């Protein structure tokens, strides 16, 4: 029986309606939630992603500003920009679009964002709190994965979760979230990576398989257990052999795997829209905290 297709766009719309009400409650107190995005350079993919965030902010009722810095921006100039935004009360959230140009130190820049405005969960303070199970701003993509599962009635508690990918923005924080002793987590988690031997033998043990490798169609049907839940975080631009046009595909061979999985996320339209919604949710949360709500 073909898998249930998890509609991330529909889930994101549900979240967005809830966020509109929270933003309206803040405005009744004279507070407009504000998000600042810093972009160094002119990466087209980054600009496209940030335009999507801008549209979502507008739909919910959040003030959004894009701070564009030239490619040759120095580390000192970037840190000065972050400090200025930290001190600006109209911004409750700050995101630093990655990747940065190679001459810039990403960790130093992420560490400079005030933890209470770090709505993408990249400051080491928030990362440390996340690992300890304390309240913190979590990176929006793994937060989106957890929210997507919760709203699809997929409980990871007691399940074997295999995450393919150990990045600092998806794999590692998602592992930290899912091993916590609380509702919506409490899973047994294995993280696979480029050093993993016999990857397929491990992925076939997963009740919930998360692909976050950045490699188009890397997860094949013979790597998936019958009835597993498959969450595809990957977004890869590939050329369609039939049309010659570029299209987006995930890390999972969707057409083949959907015949074995019990539930699966598509690309596009799966994790992506929920990721954006959770970034907006974190921004509103930051505004509520600043207001003492």
Q: How far apart are CA 126 and CA 111, in angstroms?
A: 10
Q: Do 254 and 267 meet the contact criterion of CB atoms below 8 Å apart?
A: yes
For residue 246, give every residue at least 6 positions away whose Cβ sits within 8 Å of its Cβ, in sequence order, or none.
237, 238, 239, 240
- Token pair in block for residue 145: 């994965």
Domain edges within the chain = 30-115, 140-271
Q: Is 244 exposed, middle or buried (0-12, 13-18, 19+ CB in 10 A)?
A: exposed
- Kindly report, residue by residue over 92-110, the tens digit of the pLDDT: 999 999 999 999 999 999 9
Tokens 């902010």 label which residue?
57
Q: Which of these CATH numbers, 3.90.1310.10, 3.40.50.10860, 1.20.1300.10, 3.40.50.720, describes 30-115? A: 3.40.50.10860
Half-sphere exposure at residue 62, Cβ-oriented, CA atoms within 13 angstroms: 35
Same fold, 30-115 and 140-271: yes
Say what the pTM is: 0.94
Q: Is the peptide bond prior to 146 cis by the omega test (within 30 degrees of 0)?
A: no
- Kindly report, residue by residue over 221-230, the tens digit of the pLDDT: 999 999 999 9
- Kindly report, residue by residue over 40-80, the tens digit of the pLDDT: 998 888 888 899 999 999 999 999 999 999 999 999 999 99
Phi, psi (rounded to 5 degrees) for 67: -100, 105
Q: Which of these CATH numbers, 3.90.650.10, 3.40.30.10, 3.40.50.720, 3.30.420.40, describes 140-271? A: 3.40.50.720
Question: By C-alpha distance, which of 121, 97, 48 is closest to 282?
Answer: 121
């Amino acid at each position: 029986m073909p898998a249930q297709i998890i509609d991330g766009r529909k889930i994101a719309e549900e979240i967005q309606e809830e966020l509109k009400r929270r933003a309206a409650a803040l405005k009744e107190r004279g507070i407009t939630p504000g998000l600042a995005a810093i972009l160094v350079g002119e990466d087209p993919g980054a600009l496209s992603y940030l335009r999507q965030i801008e549209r979502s902010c507008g739909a919910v009722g959040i003030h959004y500003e894009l701070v564009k810095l030239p490619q040759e921006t120095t580390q000192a100039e970037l840190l000065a920009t972050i400090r200025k935004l930290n001190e600006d009360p109209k911004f409750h959230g700050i995101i630093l679009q990655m990747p940065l140009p190679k001459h810039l130190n990403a960790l130093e820049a992420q560490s400079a964002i005030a933890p209470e405005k770090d709505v993408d969960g990249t400051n080491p303070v928030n990362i440390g709190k996340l690992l300890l199970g304390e309240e913190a701003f979590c990176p929006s993509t793994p937060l989106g994965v957890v929210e997507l599962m919760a709203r699809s009635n997929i409980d990871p508690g007691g399940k074997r979760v295999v995450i393919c990918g150990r990045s600092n923005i998806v794999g590692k924080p998602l592992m930290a979230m899912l091993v916590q002793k609380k509702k919506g987590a409490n899973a047994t988690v294995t993280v696979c990576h480029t050093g993993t031997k016999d990857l397929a033998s491990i992925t076939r043990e997963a009740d919930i398989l998360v692909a976050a490798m950045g490699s188009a169609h890397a997860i094949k049907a013979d790597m998936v257990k019958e009835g597993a839940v498959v969450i595809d975080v990957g977004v890869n631009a590939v050329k369609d052999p039939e049309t010659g046009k570029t299209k987006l595909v995930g890390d999972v061979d969707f057409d083949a795997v959907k015949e074995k999985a019990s539930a699966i996320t598509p690309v596009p339209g799966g994790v992506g829209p929920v990721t954006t919604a959770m970034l907006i949710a974190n921004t509103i949360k930051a505004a509520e905290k600043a207001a003492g709500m």
